[in-house]
Structure formats: structure tokens, C-alpha cells
Structure 1
Amino acid sequence: MEFHQYTLTTIDFGSVSRYSYFSWMDSALANIQVNVVEMEFNQATFQVLENYRDFRVMVIYRSPVTSLFCNCGETGFCSHQKATLTRLFGQENWLSFFDFNRYRNLLKKIAVQYGLEHEPLLENYFSAHIKDAALQFVLKDKHLTSIDDFDLLEPQTRPAKIHSEQLHSFIVLTRNRYYKQLQVLLCQAPLSKSGTPKNPISTVESQSRIWQTDSIDETQFFAAISQLAQPLQQTDTPIGRSLRAIAKNPLALDFFLHDYEKAENITATSLSPIQIGLSKGEIKLLIEQRGSFYCIKGELSIHGITYELQDLTILFDHFIAIKKYLYLVENKLHLKLIRLFGNKGNELRIHRNKFKEFNELFLAPLANSVALNFKDIPKANKPQLKENLYYQDMQALIFLEESEDFVNIIPVMRYGDVEVPILSKRNIFGTDAKGSQFLVERKKEAETKVISLLLKQHTYFQEQLDDDSFQHLYLHRKYFLDKNWFLNAFEEWHQHGVQIIGFNTIRGNKLSRFKGKIQIEVLSGQNWFNANIQVKFGPKSVSLKKLEKAVRNRSQFIPLDDGTLGVLPQEWLEKFEAYFNAAEVIEDEHLQIPKFKFNEIDQLFSNEEIDHAVSVEIDYLRNQLSTLASYPPVQLPDIFVGDLRHYQQQGVQWLNFLDKLNFGACLADDMGLGKTVQILAFLATQKAKGITTPTLLVLPTTLIFNWKREIEQFLPSFNTLVLEGPNRRDISEQFEELDIVLISYHNLLTDINRLKKLTFNYVILDESQYIKNPDSQRYKAVNLLRARNRIILTGTPIENNTMDLFAQLSFAIPGLFGNKKYFKDVYTTPIDAFHDRKRKKMLKEKIKPFILRRTKRDVLDDLPAKNELVLYCEMKTAQRRIYDLYEKEFREFISAKDGDEIKKSPMHVLKGLTKLRQICNSSKLLQSEDLTSAEDSAKIEMLIEQIQHKKDQHKIIVFSQFVSMLHLIKEALDKNGIPSLTLTGQSRNRGQLVSDFQSNEDSRVFLISLKAGGTGLNLTAADVVYLVDPWWNPAVEQQAIDRIYRIGQQKNVTAVRLISPNTVEDKIQALQQHKKEISSTILEDGGSLDAFYLDKDYLLKILR
């Protein structure tokens, strides 16, 4: 007979399992027997037995297409193809041949013997297939050899090999010779030419097979055989579950029935083949009244064939035998009924006087699992159905009741005022106005929909549904009350119109049956966005204060007014945590979100929740803040004396626009681009608007002179007061007369108690990186100052790590980031430690509206070129010997410590690194006679040579972190007759030294320490700068270079770094480049970032 084909494109064998459900599945398919004939990767042939007819089904899988072939002669998707797929899904060992990952795990079982279990392409070495119900592996390379192939015993002690035929495993059902009870044995024997077992037949210990399989079904199968191989001395021993596991036959083994009359022992002649399966047939009782008696007949329909109950044979107390089939009957009532008819013949007769009692005691209990057909009771007609509203008032119900530690789930359908358990066979009887009885037909389609709904909601339910003993499903209390299960299940039941009864009767249960619902509307206020939020669990509302408390405590339960507890899903906790971090609860009615967080509104809320007017306002703010060209022009008042470059004019426009919105700001232009003059122009526009309240400027001590001079130049009419010296006075009396008050960070700490009582128009911080540590006294002090608004100025907003941004912008725009822990968890750790690109982008978008940063490259087309070079200075022999000695000692110190110990000893680590860097400069910096080379260092020699060649045409600046190195350089310059100036932190005449270098042509070389020259210097007379020693933080170096490369510079600038090759300095260069890349993604320039991390692995890398 020819095969017909059906193709499916919706099955992914990688995701299917025994619990998979498809619309074409039918419970009747379980009655069809399916066995493997042959199986290999992605294809198999099955034997399908239905109504004692034998068919063949082939399955070929070429992802994502599954082709099914059957020789039944039908067309379309036939029952044999459906049954084959259903059985295939239920057998994990079969699925292993249709999913690559499962198949690979299968091959690993044989690969282990050859040491190949970790090879990526096991299929190149092995294949597997099932034939004759046995799993077999095949070597693709016959030369592959395992240890088991070697016999290492000496010849005289080696046992003789027994060359036996291949043994075939099968199952034998027999009776225990002593207890006459069912005994199930796993046996093996060679096969005859006809394929049947032949002697000798031996039993196999099934217990050992349990540990050889990963399949749950196979484990249960062997465990059941192990139980039933032993004598059951108590007749009530529960063996139903074991029999079910055996009847499933996951390995598709052959079954045989042992005939005691032929042989007491199991021999080939005493065995007859049988098929075994679960009975999914329907028992029906036909009841009719004949004269004074009610006559009852019974029948069983299975595989489309009907048998009278008296003709059925019960075997082993649990099976019915039909020809060569044994069907497991799990319902004890069914077995009793079959026995009753076997004793009484083909009909039971009950006198009508006893029928009422018979109906209550016998038929009513049977009605749950047996179909009762009353021939004398007609089906209801349309008027009868309409009168009683059976179909108009249909309602699906789910009753919940406790049974010890379990919760029973009873699906019920209500027809009018009659409730029927859906999993029962119970009939619905009614009586019309005339007293005539009628039968109401149950709506199987509606009831099946309820069962299908339940089956999707827990993996246990399918197996429970297969057990005819129960008219309900069940779950352990622990699983039932799992918040994710019952909430989602109840919601889906409600959505399908199913009523739930009995939830509140479960002991110890205080949970609300309702899944929470949120309604949100975001509206615009004057300086805020207001989010009106309603949270309800069924009819009960929850206040925002209660919700905030639960979220802050990370509690997933919130008390409701009816005494129950609402369950907060994890996604709610995360969502509301974001709400409460971004906003403040106002009068328990709504959330108030500052308008400077406009960029977060559409991240926090969906489009449906945001009012149209809010969306328009947010679009306006984004458009205005997206480009400098979009800001309204600002006319500078006459009180400002001077001219602004175009980009400086744009900066003033930007500051005025943010001022209009009451937003704080961070002006982060490159050093030398005129942040000072932009601020002064902005303050002039404030004065022109009639604002007379003074501005407080907080800045480093070294910059006070510069600011005062700039104010005198550009705002000569302003009344400026500098709070400095030991006799600083209270300014409250003259407060209204002042325009600008200048104070250093140092003096602010002393005067904060007086200044915090005053309210300024603006508080402006110059070099705001001075407050980058949120735990510092400076940070705490500036946050005590009161002002209408705040601005910070810095050329390096990030020096050490992203936490620098938190401190500075939290001052300028309070509330922008939430608390320190939140910022660290969300931004600092992911970005600095793990280079999280997504978080970098989030942070960049968050700060973008409030930071204006222009580099020289961006805004000064006429700025001369800047060239940065590296000169490698190979250390001399003695210097290298000292370096290698110290490096070895330091590397051994690091290797002996674990990561935590290193982080707890930062001073030891920094001291060791500093020594290595000093040696790279000159071993004389160690100040140790034993380890000091008499020779000059390679760097000093190269530097002197460079200066000698360049000093006549260029003014030169030399930077070093080490003051002692500057002294050595000065000594070398003096020896060579080259005059120089020196500026360090100890220099008292700072201004005079700078002026001398700038204006005196004879001053050609200026030696400056990095610390002293990092800020507040304008050295445009120079055009060559040497960086003697690199530092971890490129921002510090950049600050030094920018002392020269700034506004007013007319010449090309050359910056030269002196590096000792094959030393820690090489690694510092690499670290600098890495930090520049991170900073660029956040600040959109090549700025600086991040101090050295005390990481053991990195330390060992830089120590060669």
C-alpha cells in the first residue's frame, strides 16, 4: 500500500516535551499503540497498532519542516500520524534523535569511553540508532580505541572469553509461584530467526538500570518493574502508579505472557506475545424499564469496537484481556462492574421497588466515571431547554477545596441551576411542568475549552487528567499558592469568564485572589510633571505611601483594607522603584517629578500613560536642548565690557535657556576656551533682568586672583567681595549691595555656618572636581548653601570614575541621580568595572541636557596645531639593573597576596609603583646609596639634548610629578649653562614666575610640577612641553598641556612624553588610552577618566 504524506512547519523539536500541547491532540490518541521499528538522527519508522491492524508511519525532520508518511490509505493528517507525534513527544529517549542538543548528549555516553566527550563535533566520530528496541552506537572511525578494548590480565590468569549471541530485552508478566500475584520481570534472551526469544531466558536486575538513564519515564519504568518483581504480601499495596509506568512502556520493549500450564519456569515455549496499554475506553450502562423491572446492560467501547462487559476477562486483578491486548484499568469501580456482569451474565434486573435505593447506592457513585444511558428518558426538546434556561445560563466554575496538603481544583459547568463536574460522566435530568422527565445533553465543546485552559497552566495536569480515578486536578499547597502561579491562573480564568469559588477557605491563606492593576496618567505642572497613579487589587485600592514602603522594603506583599495581602510582581517592584527614585509622593495622591527629568518620562511611562500636552512639552525641551543653534538669542547688556566669540555667545544663550527653566548647569568646555568670560556675560544678563541678589563663586585659592582680574575687566561696575584672610567678616549687612562674592573651598568650610543662612541668586563652583568625592566635607558644605539655581564649571568633569559625575551634578541639579547607592549600582559599577555600553548610553542621555562641553577642536578653527609625540629613553645598564631588582621584589609581593588583600593595602601598592616610576626617571630619586647609579638617567640626558637644540627657537615647559626630579633636571641644566625657572607647590611668587616666563625673552625653560601647574596658569608664550613621567590619569597630563594650548596661542604646540620602554610606563600609556575611550562615550570628547584600579591581575600584567 502506498504512503500518503502530511507536512508540519510549526514544530521545533528543541522545545517540545511530554507536556507540549497542540490543537490536533486528542485523548483518544492514547489508545493507539506506537512502537519503534528503526530510528536514527532526524528520522524514524514506527509501528502503529489500531483496532488490531498494523500500520507503518515514517517521520523525517529537516528543521523547521516535519514530514509524516503513513500507509493507512487515508488522506490528510491521519490519526496514526497524530498518535506517533504524541507518543514521540512523550519519550525523552526518542526526542534525543530529533534535537541536536539532545542527540549530542546521547553521543556523550559513548564518547566518554574514548575521552572525546569534550569534542565539539561528536557526530564525526559516532552515530546512534534504535533497532529491535535497543539503543546501539556505531563508530565511524574503526581505528578509534577505548581502554575497554585492552585486556591487561596475564595469559595464565585471564578468564576464558564467552562468545555469546546478542541478547534481547523484554518484559514478562507472570504469577508469583507462592503468592499467586502478578509479577513483572525484566528478561533477556537471544532471538530466533523468526524474531522471538529463545532459550536460555534469564531475568535482569532492573534496579541497576535506574542509574543508567536520565529519562524520568524510563526511571519510573524500571523502578516499577523492580517493585513488581517482588512478592506483594498485602493485597492493598498501592501498585496502580507502578502499573501505569509499565504500561507507558517508554523503551517500547516487547511484552510476553507466561503460561504456567505449559511450564512453571519461564521458557520460550511458555511465552506468548501480547500488547499492553492504558484503557481509555468508555464504559456505558444501558438502563430501560421492562414491566416491573429495570434492566441494565453494560458495554465497553475501545478503539471503536464495543464489547459487552460480561464477555471481558480480568487478568492479574488490574487488566482486561482482549485478544492479544492487555489494557490496564485504573478505576476500581470499573473492575468491580466488569466482575459483577461476569457473575450475573449479560443483564442486571432490579425491581422497581428497589430501583430508587439502587440508584442512590450504586448508579449515583458510578455516574462520575460511567456513562448512564436511560433509554426511557428522552432528550430535552427546545421548549424544555428554554423553560429551564439550561444553555442560556451556562457558567464555567472552578471549585477549590483542601485535601490535607493539597488543593483540589474541580472544574464544573453550571447548566441553569444544575452544576456538573466536567471530568465526570454525570447526566443532567430535568422535569417539565407536566412532570415529564427529560435528559439534558452536556455541551462537550464548552467543557473541553475549560479543560484545555487548565492543561496549559501546569505541567502536572496532563498526567492527572490521564488518571480516570479522579474527577479533579490538584496541586500541593506550596505550588498552588506560589504567587506567580495562582495569580496568572486566576487572571486567565477571569478573562475566560470562569468563576472561582473557595479560594479564601484555604487555611493559612491571606493572599488576595486578584492580580494588581495599575492606572497611570502623567500631567504637566508649572515646575513638575505630576503622575496620577491608581493601584487596585480587585475592588481594593492601595495608597502610594503604603506602596512606597513595600517597595523600599523589597516586600512582595502589601496589606489591603480587607485584611488580605496583595502580591507585588517582581516587575512591579522594579518599575515602582524607578518611579520612587525619580519622583516624590505628594499627599499620597500622585508622584511629582522635577521637569529637569523630562528625558526620563517616556522611559518610565508608556505613551498611553503620558498626556498629549506633556509629550508636546517634552519634544519642545528636547529640540531646544539638542542643538546650540536653537536657543533664543541673548543681547548682552552694556555693563558687560568685551566681545564674545561665537561659541561663547552660544554658551551664554544655553545658560539663559536653562535659567528660564530653573535647571542647573555644568559648563565643561576645554581649558582655555573661556568658561570664565561666559559666566561673567551670563551674570551680566541676570543683572539686566533686574535680579539684584548676589552670586556666590566658590573656587580654588589659586584662581581667586584670576577671577578678580577678569571681573574687573569685563564687569567693572560690579561690586565684588573676596572673602579671604583671617579677618573675614559677616556679609549679611552689605548683602544686598554686592553682585559677586568670591570664596575659596578652604575658607568655605570655615564660613559655612554664616553663608548657609543667606540665599544667593546663583552658587557657582569653579573647578568643581574639587567636590567629586560625595563623602568629603567640601561636598557636604556646598550642598548647605542656598540659592535660586546652581552652576558648576570644570574642564574635567570625570577625573577618577563616573562617581565624580554624581557628586558634581547632584550639586548642580539636585535629585538628578537619586541617592549614591542607586547611582553606584546603576552606573558606576556597570560602566567602570564592566564597560557596560547600555549603561554608558543611559548615563549620557541623562546628563546631556545639562552639560555643555566644547573642545578646542570643535570650536576654534584658527587654533594652531597640537602634536603629541613619544620619545623612548632606553635605560642605562645600571639603571635597568636597579629597576629589574625592584620590579621582581614588587611582583613577588603582589603574587603572594589575594585580590582582597591588595585592595586593603592601597598605600603599599602605590608606594611600590611609585618607586618603579621614580627609577624610570632616575635611580637617584630613591635616595639610597646602595641602589643609586652614579650615572645620569637616560631621560635627563635626552631631555638636556632636546632643550639644547630647541631653546633658541622655542620656549619650553618641563612637567614632572616628582619635585625631586625637577631638581635633578635643574642641576643638569645649570651644568650646561641653561638658565631656568622652577614652579612647585612650595613656590611663593607664583604670579611673578609666570609673568617673567611670559614676558621675558631670556626666560626659555620653565620647570613645573604637575600639581602646581595643573590649574590657573596661562603659559601661551611656550610652544614645546615635555612630560617627563606619565601618570595614570590622562586628565592631569591634559591639564598641563592645556596651560599652553589655549586661547591666545599663536604657534603650533608640540607635547613630548618621555617613556622608558619595557617598563611600567609602557603599561600606563595603554591604561590612559582605555580610560580616554570610556570618557569619550559619556562626555563625547577624549577627556580623562578614572584613577588606577587596585586589581591583582592588572598589576601582574604591568609587571611583565
Structure 2
Amino acid sequence: MSDQVTAHPVSEQNPYDYILKDFNLKNLSQIVILKHLNGLIHTDVKGFYQLVPEQIEIDFAAFSDEASGLPFPIVQVQQYPNSVKLSCRCSTPKYKLCEHQARVLYNILQRQDLLIFSTVTSGNKKLAKIAIDYGLEKEDNLDLLFNLRYENDQVTIRPKMDALQPFNKETQQNLQELLLPASKPKIKAPVKNNPGKMILVFGQHRYYNNLTVELFEAQTTKNGKVKNPLKGINPADLLFKTNDNDEVKFYSGITTFQQNYNNDQSEVEIEALKAIVKNPQQIPFYLQDSKQSVAIQASTIIAVNAHLLEVDLHLSVNQRDDYYEITGRLIIEGKSCELDNLVLVHQYFVKLNNQLYLIGRLDFLRVIGFFKKQSNKLILHKTKYPEFQKVILVPLEGSIHVDYSYLKPATKSQIEEKGFDLENEQLIYLSESEDYILLTPVMRYGNLEIPVLSKRKSRRRINWVISLPCIVMKMPNCSLSGTF
């Protein structure tokens, strides 16, 4: 059939067109091209086979030459059912193929990827195969559902609907990897040869002497003693492996002391230590003995227990002739400890044997620290004591027990004189503080009112004292007094 290809007479066609009648590009050969040439074509010129389809569709393509930089008019190729039309707007008469049309045919002949535009039809096997991936194999007129695209130096068949997604084995795997949660790797069962356990060590920075808190994994002996090596654990890696609020605070608290360069006590560090001491996982605690070594090793740590101390702090005021002497003591588990005998560890803890007691308030730490520096003794002359009592001791009575040993208990007549023998009155005061309403429960003894949460005792200048009961529970049937 290809040997009998004919062209339309010039009078029947556009002067820029050359038409091959009774011809299909799938039958294209070099002989067909040579029969319709008007002259010799040099196919060995550099870049001859590098024409680019500017536009390509089923049964239509338009070619240009971008590589050589030489003038090359757009050549259009249209495949009809029984003919092929080539259009070129160069000045060469189209009695035969012009050099540009011939070059396009040679490119189509030598580059099979370009021939696809003329062979893709509804009955084409390649199109039918691609349609299966899109679920369109039973649709009529597949050529109306697909387009051709020239990408990455090759022609591909794509659906006209850009969002239409193929779903074959390859795309299924890609979508699973892209969209589905990653499957968790199988965790190998640990070898049961004395597995390491997690421990926590209160240590000291080797250069700045600040508190550090670190987690380690360590092996233990048969007697339960830790042995080297100690392998550090990053608490940040454990934060996202738990949903327990206490455990999250525990690990977060440890990170506060990972790189600690703070020399001053702070509320932030106290809150972090409270979360650590709570120890929701009951991890063994150890204290580093920095005197032995700055490095944390099995031989330089001792086991301790850590607790948040319910602070019961007392100041005692004694009169010695013309002077007043103030001393302090801390009650720990029923035992009275003089402040100068306390062993303070890392600014926040009191150490008693192998127990660490966390002092959870900065004001208490300041009081303890002050009296330790004073060797637990502060002496004031009687002329200075009243002002000291007014501006220092009385404010402290809200949170600390202040015992005045020089005051004598009130007599019955003194109690009656001041009205303390009358029925006590329970009050709640309401006060405004910015966006909040404060409720302050108060006990009224005669004409004296004392907040329920205060540790104050009633004192009178006539050197007598009344110990008043303190009610800290909810008080029913209370009168309400408002101050706004």
C-alpha cells in the first residue's frame, strides 16, 4: 500500500499543505519518504532527529526545532482515516515534500515514541492496556478520554481528567506508602541476660557545681548494686512514648536540669523537682558523691529515697536579759532538727541519712539558708526587737510557727477581759483581685480576727498569749462579709 501513496493535486489543497492519500503513518517507511521528496535530505546533520512536538494529540502533532537554533517553521501533521496531511508555511512549493515536512517524517520514522500520536485509537492495544489501570477498559471512544503529553523527552498517554488516578499494583504500593501510617517494626525480644534497668542520678556539674539530673541504663549485680558501664538516656526521647500526665512532667522536669547553668533558686526548678520526686514509675534514685569523682560511675553514687517534705518550720524567740535570741528548727517525721545541723544538698534538699527531703517553697529555703549562715542564732537588743517583730516575725507567722517563750499563758480573768471566752465566730471575707474573687476564711475570737490558714497565735503587749484553735476545713453556716 505504501508504494502506491499519492498526493492531492495542488489545485485541490492549501498551498502550505502536502497530503498523502490512502496512507496511514503506521505504514511509514524510508521508501515512502524518498518517493515524495523534492530533493536530497542530509539526515546525518547534527540535531536532525531532535525535533520537539510543541503540541501533540491523538492523530495530530505540531513539531519545531529548538535544539539547532536554525529557522524552522512549525510543521503540523494530521492523521485522517484514509490520509495524512503535513502543513508547513515555508516558501517551498508543495508539489513534493519540503525539507521541513520530510524531516518531520524522518523523525517520526526513527523515533517510535513520536509515532504513538497516529496509532492511538479506541481499538489500539496500548491505549486499551492503559485504560485498564484507570478502570476505563469498557468505555467507548477511549480516544476522547485520553490525551498525549510530551514530557521528559518522551510521549505519554494521560487521561484528560488530571485528577483521575490509576490504581494498579505499582500505584497501590505507592499510595500505601504515602497515605497509610507506617507499620511499626517488630520489636525483637530482649535477651534475658540480666537486662539493664533505668536509674536516676542527682549529680553536680563538673565545672559550675549546679544540680544535674540524669537518667541512665545500668546493669546490676545479684545483690542489686549498680555496676558499670552506665549508659545515658535522653529523657526527651521518652516524652512522646507516654500519655501519662505525671510521666510527661517527670521527663520534662529532668530536661530542666540537663544543661543547668543557673546558680539561683527558682520556682521553675522547684516545680520541676516536685514532678521528679513524685517518681510515677518508681525509678531508683541515686546521689552522686562528687568528692570521689566528677564523673558519674557505679562507685560514686549512693542509693537514696526522695520525698516532698510537708514543711513544719519553727522559730523560737527567747529573751536573755536585754536581748532577744531567735533560733530555728525543722520538724522531719516527728524529729526536731536544729537548722544549723541540717545538711542541705543541691540548694533544694535536706539530707537525713539516705533520705532526701525536697523543700518545696522558696520562702522556706530562704529562711533555712539564712539561719544556717547565722549558725542558727539571731540576737537583737531589746530596743530593736519590737520593730523586728513587727516587720519580720509577724509577717512570717502566716506560714511559720513562731514560738514566743517569754510570753506567759493568759489567765482566766485576762481571757474574759478581752472577750475570748465568748463563742467563736466563723467568717468568710470576699475581696476583689483583678479578674478574681478571693475567699478568706477567718476565725473571730472576741475582737480579734485570725485567718484560718495562718499559724498565728494571739499575742498581747501585756506579755501573755492565748493558743487559738485553727480550723482548716470547710466551715458550714458561716456569715459572709464582703469588701469591694
TM-score range, shorter chain: 0.5 to 0.7
What SS is found at the alignment partner of 1:385?
helix
1:438 to 458, 464, 473: 464
In the alignment, the residues of structure 2 paired with residue 294 and residue 149 of structure 1 have an alpha-carbon distance, to the nearest angstrom, of 70
**Correspondence for 1:416:** 446
**Correspondence for 1:148:** 186
Q: Is 2:342 aligned against 1:312?
A: yes
1:266 to 277, 289, 296: 296
Partner AA of 1:294 in structure 2:
Y
**Correspondence for 1:190:** 219
| 1:341-374: CA deviation from partner (whole Å, max 9, x where unpaired) | 2222243211101101211232122211111111
**Correspondence for 1:166:** 195
Q: Is the 8 A contact 1:281 1:301 kept in 2?
A: yes
**Correspondence for 2:242:** 213
Instruction: Note the C-alpha offset of 1:501.
Output: 3.8
Q: Is the 8 A contact 2:349 2:356 kept in 1?
A: yes
In the alignment, the residues of structure 1 paired with residue 414 and residue 246 of structure 2 have an alpha-carbon distance, to the nearest angstrom, of 50
Instruction: Note the C-alpha offset of 1:189.
Output: 0.7
In the alignment, the residues of structure 1 paired with residue 263 and residue 375 of structure 2 have an alpha-carbon distance, to the nearest angstrom, of 31
Q: Is the 8 A contact 1:295 1:348 kept in 2?
A: yes
* Residues 357, 150 of structure 1: alpha-carbon distance in 2 compared, 3 angstrom cutoff: closer
Greater helix proportion: 1
In the alignment, the residues of structure 1 paired with residue 351 and residue 319 of structure 2 have an alpha-carbon distance, to the nearest angstrom, of 32
**Correspondence for 1:359:** 389
* Residues 217, 150 of structure 1: alpha-carbon distance in 2 compared, 3 angstrom cutoff: closer
* Residues 250, 404 of structure 1: alpha-carbon distance in 2 compared, 3 angstrom cutoff: farther
**TM-score (structure 2 length as normaliser):** 0.57
Instruction: Note the C-alpha offset of 1:236.
Output: 5.8
* Residues 147, 219 of structure 1: alpha-carbon distance in 2 compared, 3 angstrom cutoff: closer
Q: Is the 8 A contact 2:265 2:362 kept in 1?
A: no
Partner AA of 2:468 in structure 1:
R
Q: Is the 8 A contact 1:278 1:328 kept in 2?
A: yes
| 1:78-131: CA deviation from partner (whole Å, max 9, x where unpaired) | xxxxxxxxxxxxxxxxxxxxxxxxxxxxxxxxxxxxxxxxxxxxxxxxxxxxxx
**Correspondence for 1:345:** 375
* Residues 209, 399 of structure 1: alpha-carbon distance in 2 compared, 3 angstrom cutoff: farther
**Correspondence for 1:498:** 478
What SS is found at the alignment partner of 1:341?
helix
**Correspondence for 1:235:** 264
* Residues 352, 420 of structure 1: alpha-carbon distance in 2 compared, 3 angstrom cutoff: same
Instruction: Note the C-alpha offset of 1:163.
Output: 7.7
Greater relative contact order (Cα 8 A, min sep 6): structure 1 or 2?
2
What SS is found at the alignment partner of 1:497?
coil
Q: Is the 8 A contact 1:281 1:303 kept in 2?
A: no
What SS is found at the alignment partner of 1:326?
strand
**Correspondence for 1:735:** none
Q: Is the 8 A contact 1:333 1:366 kept in 2?
A: no
* Residues 163, 147 of structure 1: alpha-carbon distance in 2 compared, 3 angstrom cutoff: same
In the alignment, the residues of structure 1 paired with residue 315 and residue 214 of structure 2 have an alpha-carbon distance, to the nearest angstrom, of 37
Instruction: Note the C-alpha offset of 1:272.
Output: 0.8
In the alignment, the residues of structure 1 paired with residue 401 and residue 430 of structure 2 have an alpha-carbon distance, to the nearest angstrom, of 25
In the alignment, the residues of structure 1 paired with residue 405 and residue 320 of structure 2 have an alpha-carbon distance, to the nearest angstrom, of 11
Instruction: Note the C-alpha offset of 1:235.
Output: 3.2
Q: Is the 8 A contact 2:270 2:361 kept in 1?
A: no
In the alignment, the residues of structure 2 paired with residue 316 and residue 343 of structure 1 have an alpha-carbon distance, to the nearest angstrom, of 16
| Match runs of 1:26-41 below 5 Å | none
Partner AA of 1:306 in structure 2:
S
* Residues 241, 420 of structure 1: alpha-carbon distance in 2 compared, 3 angstrom cutoff: same
* Residues 426, 276 of structure 1: alpha-carbon distance in 2 compared, 3 angstrom cutoff: same
| 1:436-460: CA deviation from partner (whole Å, max 9, x where unpaired) | 332111213xx03xx2x2xxxxxxx
| Match runs of 1:29-108 below 5 Å | none
Q: Is 2:205 aligned against 1:176?
A: yes
Partner AA of 2:334 in structure 1:
G
**Correspondence for 1:222:** 251
| 1:456-507: CA deviation from partner (whole Å, max 9, x where unpaired) | xxxxxxxxxxxxxxxxxxxxxxxxxxxxxxxxxxxxx6xx1223344x84xx
* Residues 356, 312 of structure 1: alpha-carbon distance in 2 compared, 3 angstrom cutoff: same
**Correspondence for 1:993:** none
| 1:322-350: CA deviation from partner (whole Å, max 9, x where unpaired) | 22111111233322222232222243211
* Residues 232, 379 of structure 1: alpha-carbon distance in 2 compared, 3 angstrom cutoff: same
* Residues 163, 304 of structure 1: alpha-carbon distance in 2 compared, 3 angstrom cutoff: closer
Instruction: Note the C-alpha offset of 1:216.
Output: 2.2
**TM-score (structure 1 length as normaliser):** 0.26
Q: Is the 8 A contact 1:379 1:438 kept in 2?
A: yes
Q: Is the 8 A contact 1:276 1:326 kept in 2?
A: yes
| Match runs of 1:401-800 below 5 Å | 401-430=431-460, 436-444=462-470, 447-448=471-472, 451=473, 453=474, 496-502=476-482, 505=484
In the alignment, the residues of structure 1 paired with residue 453 and residue 261 of structure 2 have an alpha-carbon distance, to the nearest angstrom, of 32
Identity of aligned residues (%): 28
* Residues 410, 198 of structure 1: alpha-carbon distance in 2 compared, 3 angstrom cutoff: farther
**Correspondence for 1:332:** 362
Instruction: Note the C-alpha offset of 1:233.
Output: 4.1
**Correspondence for 1:293:** 323
**Correspondence for 1:638:** none
Q: Is 2:273 aligned against 1:247?
A: no
Instruction: Note the C-alpha offset of 1:175.
Output: 1.6
Instruction: Note the C-alpha offset of 1:150.
Output: 7.7
* Residues 201, 500 of structure 1: alpha-carbon distance in 2 compared, 3 angstrom cutoff: farther
Q: How many residues are matched? A: 300
Q: Is the 8 A contact 1:283 1:370 kept in 2?
A: yes
* Residues 193, 426 of structure 1: alpha-carbon distance in 2 compared, 3 angstrom cutoff: same
In the alignment, the residues of structure 2 paired with residue 149 and residue 288 of structure 1 have an alpha-carbon distance, to the nearest angstrom, of 68
| 1:1056-1099: CA deviation from partner (whole Å, max 9, x where unpaired) | xxxxxxxxxxxxxxxxxxxxxxxxxxxxxxxxxxxxxxxxxxxx
What SS is found at the alignment partner of 1:179?
coil
5+ long unaligned stretches in structure 2: 1-183
Partner AA of 1:227 in structure 2:
T
What SS is found at the alignment partner of 2:186?
helix
In the alignment, the residues of structure 2 paired with residue 150 and residue 201 of structure 1 have an alpha-carbon distance, to the nearest angstrom, of 23
In the alignment, the residues of structure 1 paired with residue 421 and residue 275 of structure 2 have an alpha-carbon distance, to the nearest angstrom, of 41
1:392 to 418, 422, 432: 422
What SS is found at the alignment partner of 2:384?
helix
* Residues 500, 191 of structure 1: alpha-carbon distance in 2 compared, 3 angstrom cutoff: farther
1:199 to 221, 228, 240: 228
What SS is found at the alignment partner of 1:231?
coil
In the alignment, the residues of structure 1 paired with residue 402 and residue 382 of structure 2 have an alpha-carbon distance, to the nearest angstrom, of 17
Q: Is the 8 A contact 1:168 1:197 kept in 2?
A: no
Partner AA of 1:279 in structure 2:
L
* Residues 181, 304 of structure 1: alpha-carbon distance in 2 compared, 3 angstrom cutoff: same
**Correspondence for 1:383:** 413
Instruction: Note the C-alpha offset of 1:308.
Output: 0.8
Instruction: Note the C-alpha offset of 1:426.
Output: 1.5
Instruction: Note the C-alpha offset of 1:404.
Output: 4.4
Q: Is the 8 A contact 2:201 2:215 kept in 1?
A: yes
Q: What is the root-mean-square deviation of aligned Cα atoms in Å?
A: 2.6
Q: Is the 8 A contact 1:285 1:370 kept in 2?
A: yes
**Correspondence for 2:140:** none
Q: Is the 8 A contact 1:184 1:228 kept in 2?
A: yes
**Correspondence for 1:784:** none
5+ long unaligned stretches in structure 1: 1-145, 152-160, 454-492, 506-1104
